Amino acid sequence: MAQVPAVLGATGNHLRGEKLKAPKTVTVLGHQLCVLPMGDQVDGNISGYCAEREECIYIAPGMADGQTDVVLLHEVLHFISDSLGKELTEEQIKGLAEGLYSAGVRIR
């Protein structure tokens, strides 16, 4: 069974200025989302966030590859939930992201 990296809610593990280890774009529900590194203005307690209106996902650079993969899955699930009006909770999104990651799902 794949080990799920512990990242959600992690603090202090992001290196600013480091290259983001993720695809530049992700197509979800017919929308091409840009994937960008978060800037210094973002609270250090956040590993990623989805800006649905901008159609962008922001991810903290400097995490290990597995951590970045889980955060990207997590943010894509937020986009899907919000776009479809499903109103999934943070805990539901977290569980789905970790479950999909453990099943071998990666976004490339």
3-class SS string, 30-78: CEEEEEEECCCCCCCCCCEEEECCCCEEEECCCCCHHHHHHHHHHHHHH
Q: What is the mean pLDDT of residues 39-68?
A: 86
Q: What is the mean pLDDT of residues 9-28?
A: 66
Q: Residue 16: what pLDDT?
A: 46
* Alpha-carbon span 82 to 102, nearest angstrom: 23
Band (65; pLDDT cuts 50, 70, 90): confident
- Check whether 42 has a pLDDT greater than 70: no
Q: Residue 39: what pLDDT?
A: 78
Q: What is the mean pLDDT of residues 84-106?
A: 96
Q: Residue 18: what pLDDT?
A: 59
